[in-house]
Amino acid sequence: MTFLSEITAIQNIIYIFSSILFITGIKMLGKEDTAVKGNFFSALAMFIAVSITLIDVVNPIVLLSGIALGAVIGSFIALKVKMTSIPEMVALFNGFGGLATFLIAWSEFNSIPDNLFQHVLVMTTLYIGGVTFTGSLVAYAKLSEKIKIAKTSIITKIFTTIFYISLPFLLYSTFVTPFIVTSFEFFTVLLVLTLLGGIGFVLPIGGGDMPVVISLLNSFSGIAAAFAGLLLLNNVLIVAGSLVGASGLILTVIMAKAMNRSISNILFVGYASSSASSSSSEEQGEVSPISVSDAYLILESASSVLIIPGYGMAVAQAQHVVRELGELLEENGTEVKYGIHPVAGRMPGHMNVLLAEANVPYDVLAEPDDVNPTMDAVDVAVVIGANDVVNPSATEEPGSPIYGMPIIEVHNAKTVFVLKRSMSSGFAGVQNPLFFKQNTRMLFGDAKESIGGLVSEFKD
């Protein structure tokens, strides 16, 4: 055994150890009590894998300076970012991971693949990595509201078209080019089409469907890393990448189920335009508005209150006043719970993060299945900037675009307060019959101001 192959053998043994730590880490990350430790284990696994790789690289100065630069930028962003911007940060970091695998595949292409299988791997890794990169950047821009481009705009259509062109071109590059002499630089074309195609993949997908896209891109970045591992014959890349791919896939499925839609419907169709269903909205009757002081009187005498937050709470940044209201209600002897729908907000678990930031303990947060059976015992359900996830059409109107979607059935509560800016419909573009129900009271205005008003009423 030569010295070099001994080092490789040691590295591979350490990689196995690192893989075990990754597996343990991600398992612990799935439980509340062990999550912090799980994240630490996975970071430790990363540290070990990177360190053992570094011991025999040529010209380490270039690589070490790259790591140092990345460490500074990454840490700076991670520590500076406001907790409320976490969704877009995750998207951004995810994009950088995708870019790294895209670059790995690019570099490997220049090493001249020596068999067809390697060629296929280079192309697939390049494509998934590239789409993850630009797709995540678009998701980042959408989540941070840096771009607002309508699904129907010409720009969206151009990019979507490029995405659909990029797919057959990927097939051509993967399976045809190894056998013919191309008259053009097909690889350069593929690089460009991949990056532009990633934009076209995410651009037409609406804000309310973002939780699905983010989870899917997360999964992609893992799959790309695993493929890069196959390409470079590196087992820790394969194991870690596969774990990420699997966890992203699970989240994607959970999100799609919570909307009762298939993944392909979310990605390629979107909601049907609302014009067809709008005819019935005229005959739904009148809404009953309520003032803050009247709402206070009802809340004050309630013995159980359920709070249902939605994207509107995130927009109004109302989570802190919501927590304050919850605490005041509890001091008043009211039982307070939060009903969290899995797709409320713009990313998986968005509401949970916001409420955690406001110091709401996670054991008062309940899922739809936990709150729906006892809904008729709830005195007041307070809906804060949520719409589609509490729309009774999902259970009552078989013709509705959202029919069949699991919702939080607040309409079964004794009284429902809906905090809303205006009567506009939610992301799905469907009118919400909840607003017209006998037991519903509309509290119009900015959620933060309305709740703030309630809080000061309680304090007086």
- For the segment 100-139, give every residue that binds another protein (CB under 8 A): 100-101, 103-104, 106-108, 110-111, 117
CA neighbours within 13 Å on the CB side: how many for 344?
A: 33
Specify the 3-state DSSP secondary structure of 380: strand
Q: Which stretch binds another protein (CB under 8 A): 64-72, 149-157, 427-435, 448-456?
A: 64-72
Cβ density class 224-253: b for 16+ within 10 Å, e for less:
bbbbbbbbeebebbbbbbbbbbebbbebbe
Q: Quick one: 66 or 289, whose CB is closer to another protein?
A: 66
Burial bucket for residue 165 (CB in 10 Å: 0-12, 13-18, 19+): middle
Q: What DSSP state is assigned to residue 273?
A: P
Residues contacting residue 418 through CB under 8 Å, at least 6 positions apart: 383, 434, 435, 440, 441, 442, 443
Residues contacting residue 380 through CB under 8 Å, at least 6 positions apart: 298, 299, 302, 304, 305, 306, 413, 414, 415, 416, 417
Provide φ and ψ at 353, rounded to 5°. Answer: -65, -45
Q: Which stretch binds another protein (CB under 8 A): 69-77, 269-277, 386-394, 411-419?
A: 69-77
Closest CB 62 distance from another protein, rounded Å: 6
CB 455 within 8 A of CB 332: no
Distance of alpha carbon 100 from alpha carbon 136, whole angstroms:
13
Q: Quick one: 36 or 269, whose CB is closer to another protein?
A: 36
- Of 1, 3, 5, 62, the residue at the interface with another protein (CB under 8 A) is 62
Q: Is 14 in the site for another protein (CB under 8 A)?
A: no
Closest CB 184 distance from another protein, rounded Å: 19
- Of 14, 165, 232, 292, the residue at the interface with another protein (CB under 8 A) is 232
Residue count, binding to another protein (CB under 8 A): 110
Residues contacting residue 162 through CB under 8 Å, at least 6 positions apart: 193, 196, 197, 199, 200
Distance of alpha carbon 239 from alpha carbon 122, whole angstroms:
18
CB 39 within 8 A of CB 29: yes
Region 415-454 residues binding another protein, contact defined as CB under 8 A: none
Region 233-272 residues binding another protein, contact defined as CB under 8 A: 233-251, 254
CA distance from start to end of the chain: 82
Specify which residues 381 forms β-bridges with: 306, 416
Closest CB 453 distance from another protein, rounded Å: 27
Structure tokens at 410: 């607040």
Q: Quick one: 131 or 365, whose CB is closer to another protein?
A: 365
Closest CB 2 distance from another protein, rounded Å: 18
Is 388 an annotated catalytic residue? yes
Q: Quick one: 103 or 149, whose CB is closer to another protein?
A: 103
Q: Quick one: 55 or 155, whose CB is closer to another protein?
A: 55
Residues contacting residue 394 through CB under 8 Å, at least 6 positions apart: 260, 400, 402, 403, 404, 405, 406, 407
Region 348-367 residues binding another protein, contact defined as CB under 8 A: 348-350, 352-353, 356-357, 359, 361-365, 367
Q: Quick one: 21 or 321, whose CB is closer to another protein?
A: 21
Closest CB 189 distance from another protein, rounded Å: 17
Region 297-356 residues binding another protein, contact defined as CB under 8 A: 340, 342, 347-350, 352-353, 356
CB 95 within 8 A of CB 136: yes
CA angle 373–375–380, rounded 5-degree value? 165
Closest CB 222 distance from another protein, rounded Å: 5
Distance of CA 408 to the CA centre of its chain: 20
Residues contacting residue 372 through CB under 8 Å, at least 6 positions apart: 408, 409, 412
Per annotation, catalytic residue among 114, 209, 376, 388 = 388
| DSSP-H helix ranges across 203-308 | 210-232, 235-258, 263-268, 292-300
- Of 12, 75, 161, 456, the residue at the interface with another protein (CB under 8 A) is 75
Region 20-49 residues binding another protein, contact defined as CB under 8 A: 22-23, 25-27, 29-32, 35-36, 38-40, 42-43, 46, 49
- Of 70, 168, 289, 373, the residue at the interface with another protein (CB under 8 A) is 70
Q: Quick one: 59 or 264, whose CB is closer to another protein?
A: 59
Region 76-95 residues binding another protein, contact defined as CB under 8 A: 77-79, 81, 83, 86-87, 89-90, 92-94
Q: Is 225 in the site for another protein (CB under 8 A)?
A: yes
Q: Which of 346, 331, 389, 340 is nearest to 366 (CA)?
A: 340
Q: Quick one: 108 or 388, whose CB is closer to another protein?
A: 108
Closest CB 104 distance from another protein, rounded Å: 5
Region 366-405 residues binding another protein, contact defined as CB under 8 A: 367
Closest CB 47 distance from another protein, rounded Å: 9
Closest CB 441 distance from another protein, rounded Å: 28
Q: Quick one: 295 or 318, whose CB is closer to another protein?
A: 318
Q: Which active-site residues does the annotation give?
A: 388
